[in-house]
Amino acid sequence: MMNQPTGNGNPEPNNLNLEGVMEQYQTALLRYAARVLNNEDAAQDVVQEAFIRFHGNMEKITTRGVQLKGWLFRTTHNAAVDYIRKESRRRLLHQRQAVQPETSSSGTNEERHALVLEHLGVLKPKERSVLVLRLQEGMSYKEIAAVLKRSEGYVGTLIHTATKKLSQSLKQAEVVS
C-alpha cells in the first residue's frame, strides 16, 4: 500500500514504511549527495546509510512528528560529512582543483554547466551543501537551516560566501566574465 502524502509532502505517519519513503525521496537525496560529494558512487553509499539510519529511527520519527524531508536531508548531509572526514576528501578535492583545465569563455551550455559543477570543489562541504540545497533542490533558507541545524543567518552567510568563491573560481578559469 502506498503512503498518502500529507499537505507538507510527508507520508502519513501511521503508514510510514521504508519502501515508500525510499521511492519518494531517493532521487532527490542521491542528487544532493552527489553534488555535495562530487562522487556518484559515494553518494549511493551515503544515501544508503541515510536510509539505514531512517529504518533504525522510524519509530522515533513517527512518534515525535519529525519533518521527514528535513530529517532525511539532514541525515544525508551528516552521512556525507562523515564520508568526507573518513576519506579525507577535502584534501583530494583541493589537490584536484589545483590542476585547473584550460578553458575559454566559449563553449556549449552543457560544457559550461560541467565546468561549474567541477568548480564546486573549491567550496567547503557546508558551502557546497547550502548551494545545492538552495539552487538545485529549491529549498528556502529556513528549510536549509533546519537541515543543517543552524540559523537562517548562518545559512545566508554560507550562501553568500559560497557564491563569491564560486564566482571568483569561474572568473579565474574564464568560464564567466
Number of domains in the chain: 2
3-state helix/strand/coil string of 110-175: HHHHHHHHHHHHHCCHHHHHHHHHHHHCCCCHHHHHHHHCCCHHHHHHHHHHHHHHHHHHHHHCCC
Separation CA 130–CA 71 (nearest Å): 15
Confidence (pLDDT) at 26: 95
CATH of the domain at 110: 1.10.10.10
**Which of 60, 87, 114 is the endpoint of a domain?**
87
Q: What is the predicted pLDDT for the residue at 167?
A: 82
H-helix segments, 38-131: 40-64, 68-87, 89-98, 109-119, 125-131
pLDDT classification of 8: cutoffs 50, 70, 90: very low
Asked, for residue 2, whether it belongs to a domain, the answer is no
Torsion sign over Cα 16, 24, 61, 65: negative
Q: 39-76 in b/e burial notation, b at 16+ Cβ within 10 A?
A: beebbeebbbbbbebbeeeeeebbeeebbbbbbbbbbb
Confidence (pLDDT) at 5: 45
At residue 39's C-alpha, the angle toward residues 104 and 85, to 5°, is 115
Per-residue pLDDT band for 175 (boundaries 50, 70, 90) equals low
68 and 120 in a single domain? The answer is no
Cα separation, 34 vs 97, whole angstroms = 17
- Structure confidence by residue, pLDDT tens digits, 113-158: 677 777 787 888 888 888 888 877 888 888 888 888 888 888 888 8
Question: Is residue 139 located within the same domain as residue 174?
Answer: yes
Q: Domain boundary at 87, 121, 153, which?
A: 87
Domain, as residue range, for 67 = 11-87
Q: Say which CATH number the domain at 28 has.
A: 1.10.1740
Whether 4 is in a domain gets the answer: no
Same domain, 115 and 52: no
- pLDDT digits 0-9 by tens, 47-106: 999 999 999 988 888 888 888 999 999 999 999 988 888 776 446 555 665 554 444 444
| Of 28-42, 43-57, 96-110, 162-176, the least confident | 96-110
Domain co-membership, 82 together with 134: no
Q: How confident is the model at residue 43 (pLDDT cuts 50, 70, 90)?
A: very high
